[in-house]
Amino acid sequence: MGLTLTEKLLKEHLVSGELKAGSEIGIKIDQTLTQDATGTMVYLQFESMGIPSVKTELSVSYVDHNTLQSDYRNMDDHRFLQSAAAKFGLYFSRPGNGICHQIHLERFGIPGKTLLGSDSHTPTGGGLGMISIGAGGLDVAAAMAGAPFYLKTPEVIGVKLSGKLQPMCSAKDIILTILQIESVKGGVGKVYEYFGSGVESLSVPERATITNMGAELGATTSVFPSDAKTKDFLNLQKRGDLWRELSADTDAEYSKIIEINLDEVVPMVAMPHMPDNVKKVSEIAGLPVNQVAIGSCTNSSINDLGIAADILENKTISEKLSLGISPGTKQVVKSSIEAGIFGKLISAGARILESACGACIGMGFSPSSGGVTVRTFNRNFKGRSGTADASVYLVSPETAAATALTGVLTDPRDIKGITKKDYSSFTEIDDNMIIKPLCEKDAENIEIIRGPNIKPCPKADSMADKLEASVLIKTEDNITTDHIMPAGSKILPLRSNIPEISKHVFEALDPEFHNKAKKAGNGVIIGGENYGQGSSREHAALAPMYLGVKAVITKSFARIHKANLINFGIIPFTFSDASSYDKISEGDIIVIENLRENVKNTKKLKAVNKTTGFEFEVEHDMADRQLEVILEGGLLNFTKNRN
């Protein structure tokens, strides 16, 4: 039996375990990336490991999230990150250079390599034929220290593409179609591997739009073959020598195959407040809109901006709305100026925002109260835009531009006379905002600069013998890390200060959560299906740990968040019988006797709701290594105890 591309690449990097779906493997990590909102913790953790410099082939520290700088805290973080990069041998991408995933694709990604990033959209690199995985910051710090990355061997789903996209239909519509089929939890424990004749018509940035939003499926990652189109892209980036042909064997076996005929893909839209709440644009066309945003790590390549500019050329956007553009990288800005794209957009009335995450994470350009905003981004969780009661619709650049023109959600196929042009020949190479690593001797003399808002990373105690804790909150299905640890312009500057940021845990669901947790001392969280989906932010585990949360009991977990809970000593249990969920309420006291012994020796444990007397069973599926980590109170203690 032949191998899938995923299996080939995992095999090439296998350090421990066996490639058998569901069993834990360790893989060698060639490259890492961090961004500033997760990065400060990563470098504090790396520093505490006492290793002088990174052991990967390449590690890059990007600044792209916290660039609003409404006071000293963001820039203090940037200075910390720049000095830490110099000290520990990393490349440093300065603020203004653009969004980590897009820059990494353009300047650093290499087919066949592994990339681990402290951002959930790291799978963008799968567009180049990489095994590119998002993880919590502590896992990335460990990878920089030379440790393998551990994961459950994923199931490989084949996505067979045939045909060719029709005019005004785009890569975004392909991934929205897949989200409609698979849902936001359909991809947990899986890799989506693309193959078939339809692949060759898609450029690397189009493939990257698809692999980027594979994160919204909950997938471990997504991957495309490395072929002639990959070579073209690398040649344009003047990195053609790094190309390597990669594909699955012709007799590779996938655990399931999803077939998509690109000829049949039509403009799609994800409606509030989940990326899998997908419909055809034509089904809700005419919806009044008061804001449009084009950009983010999903859709901000030169061709994404190019088609938007061509739709808007010699016209003015509707007076009913405001249009914001956040180009993916500085290279895209320069190339777009060169290609005349920027001129067309500005003439039409677009507001040019910074090359950064910006509006995607509620860092500026928030919609009006009750506003309807149409965005080319990847997440539309409630409140993420910075406006609690806004409605966010996710679409392609074509649909966004057509909507900007008319003021109502518009199927771009209704705008006649536009032919999509390929602007990629305008690619401008410019690395002057990337600072290279220093030689070892110079690095030794670097002092890490710490502002007053940068506080040490707290550690958990080792696991207690008994759990007796009160239920602090009971949540529904599909709770995101944005619910657990919100982002936005007010809270993001606190990412380096866990005591402060912990005051905002679950803020939108229960503004009293922090006080309740403090009062209870020991806490448990009860969740539904797919608890912790979305971003990789380890703060969604770290801050609850700081507030005394000892266990989270759910119907099921999202992959990265579950790993983060273990890394910070919080036990991720699931209900053996999902109906037990109904018999637990906020404020109940949950007891598990002989916790340490039982967690170590059995996968199923007896729990009691002391308040009602209801007995139920919880279980865990932690691998032996994870058990050791959790018993010692998390990965920081585990690593320290072994040094």
* Residue 99 contacts which entry, ligand SF4, ligand MIC, none (Cβ below 5-8 A, type-dependent): ligand SF4
> Contacts with ligand MIC in 39-98 (CB under 6 A)?
65
Among 382, 504, 537, 559, binds ligand MIC (CB under 6 A): 537
Query: At its nearest, how many Å lie between ligand MIC and the CB of residue 535?
Result: 3
Q: How far apart are the first and last CA of the chain?
A: 43
Q: Residue 277 is which amino acid?
A: N
Shortest CB 214 distance to ligand SF4, Å: 13
Shortest spacing between CB 111 and ligand SF4, in angstroms? 22
User: How many residues belong to the site for ligand SF4 (CB under 6 A)?
Assistant: 10
543 part of the interface to ligand MIC, by CB under 6 A: no
Using CB atoms within 10 Å of the CB of residue 50, give its burial: 0 to 12 exposed, 13 to 18 middle, 19+ buried.
exposed
Residue 120 touching ligand MIC (CB under 6 A):
yes
Dist CA 124 CA 104 (whole Å): 9
Residues in the chain: 643
Per-residue DSSP letters for 365-379? -PPPTT-EEEESSS-
Identify the helix (H) or strand (E) that includes residue 160. Answer: strand 155-162
**269 lies in the site for ligand SF4, by CB under 6 A:** no
Please say whether the beta carbons of 86 and 92 come within 8 A: yes
Binding to ligand SF4, residues 348-377 (CB under 6 A): 357, 360-361
Q: Which residues contact 450 (CB under 8 A, 6 or more apart)?
A: 76, 80
Q: Which stretch binds ligand MIC (CB under 6 A): 74-82, 367-375, 470-478, 533-541?
A: 533-541
Q: Binding marks (x or -) toward ligand MIC, 474..513, rule CB under 6 A?
A: -------------x--------------------------
- 3-class SS at 614? strand
172 binds ligand SF4 (CB under 6 A): no
As given in the structure block, the two tokens for residue 156 are: 């490989």
Residues in Cβ contact with 286 at an 8 Å cutoff, skipping those fewer than 6 apart? 408, 409
Compute the least distance from the CB of residue 35 to ligand SF4, in Å.
7
DSSP codes of every residue in 120-134: TTGGGGGGGT-EEEE
- For the chain, helix (H) and strand (E) counts, in that order, are 23, 27
Q: Enumerate the active-site residues.
A: 64-65, 119, 379, 535, 537
The H-or-E segment that residue 352 falls in is strand 351-352
DSSP 104: I
Binding mask 285-304 for ligand SF4 (x = CB under 6 A): -----------xx-------
Site string for ligand SF4, 377-406 (x = CB under 6 A): -x----------------------------
Cα 629 off chain centre by: 24
**Residues 82 to 111 in contact with ligand SF4, rule: CB under 6 A:** 99
Q: Please give the DSSP secondary-structure letter assigned to residue 392.
A: E
Q: Does 535 bind ligand MIC (CB under 6 A)?
A: yes
- Tokens at residue 541, please? 């585990």
Report the partner that residue 38 touches, choosing among ligand MIC, ligand SF4, none (CB closer than 5 to 8 A by kind): ligand MIC
Task: Select the residue interacting with ligand MIC from 114, 237, 536, 639 (CB under 6 A).
Answer: 536
The token duo for 139 is 């896992």
Residues 240-279 that bind ligand MIC (CB under 6 A): none
* Residues near ligand SF4, by CB under 6 A: 65, 99, 119, 121, 296-297, 357, 360-361, 378
* Residues near ligand MIC, by CB under 6 A: 37-38, 65, 119-121, 134, 361, 487, 534-537
